[in-house]
Amino acid sequence: MQSGLYVGISSQIALERRLNTIADNMANMTTVGFRATEVKFDEVLSKTRNDLNANIAFVSQGNDYLSTRSGGLSQTGNPLDVAIKGDAWFAIDTPAGEVLTRDGRFSMRETGELISTMGHPVLDAGGAPIQLNRAGGTPTIGSDGRITQDGNVIATLGLYTADISKGYQRFDNGGVIPVEAAQPVVDSFDVSVAQGYVEESNVNGIGEMTQLIQVNRAFEAISAMMRDTESSFSEAIKTLGGTR
């Protein structure tokens, strides 16, 4: 009977984690380039002490992963706004190290350095900061990421891939720091960029609200089940305790 309480507790812990990811996703519905967090739960079997052939199924705490679904493209007309088409990331240099981001809202410092919205240098494929000519003409960015000013190619936007499933940490403005080092994209026909566009968040608001309702209902159902189990357990103790 007590195993039912333990199973219920494990379920509530898992639901709480999913609730936290839903809240985070909803808070970033308008964050440019944000990729939603999903959680994968696994079944964990445990043998009971009284019967080694009986398995009790618990739910794991879950593993986070990022949705790879691309967000919609929004046209801005800003020549330094860039959106990625395909499975790749921009890289920026931060105090926390190299960070990957899909947020392509770039600008230029007085010194000509290309920077992110948070003021971090944008990197090229070699990992070096991109330097533009402040006194030059309007930059043109090709689909391959090449940046041209006054008819001359002066830099190439770095596009990177990383196996996020190996683990990651979140960073400001939808950025991520992968556990496994990112690698530059080389001659990929599936990846390109669009100048004058930004990628919207890939969070599905309706889907998240639906899951929020389902999680709340599941939490309430498990809470009711645990209350019933605890009540039955208490009654059993009273009955057995009164037996002589």
The domains of the chain are located at: 2-68+210-241, 73-199
- pLDDT tens digits for 71-115? 999 999 999 999 999 999 999 999 999 999 999 999 999 999 999
Euclidean distance between CA atoms 141 and 82, whole angstroms: 8
Res 48: pLDDT: 47
pLDDT at 58 over 70: no
Cα dist from 153 to 8, 35, 51, 104, 186, whole Å: 61, 31, 73, 20, 18
- What is the residue type of 47? K
Q: How many residues does the chain have?
A: 244
pLDDT average, residue stretch 170-180: 90
Euclidean distance between CA atoms 116 and 158, whole angstroms: 13
Contact 146, 156 (CB under 8 A): yes
pLDDT at 1 over 60: no
Of 128-142, 189-203, 212-226, minimum mean pLDDT range = 212-226
pLDDT at 146 over 90: yes
pLDDT average, residue stretch 13-21: 81
Closest listed residue to residue 177, CA positions, set 120, 101, 235: 101
Q: Say which residue the tokens 């001359």 belong to.
A: 152
pLDDT average, residue stretch 219-235: 67
Of residues 33 and 8, which shows the higher confidence score? 33
Q: Is 17 helix (H, G, I), strand (E, B) or coil?
A: helix
pLDDT at 217 over 70: yes
Beta bridge partners of 64: 39
Q: Which residues contact 107 (CB under 8 A, 6 or more apart)?
A: 80, 114, 115, 117
pTM, rounded to two decimals: 0.79
Res 4: pLDDT: 56
Of 149-158, 162-171, 190-199, minimum mean pLDDT range = 162-171
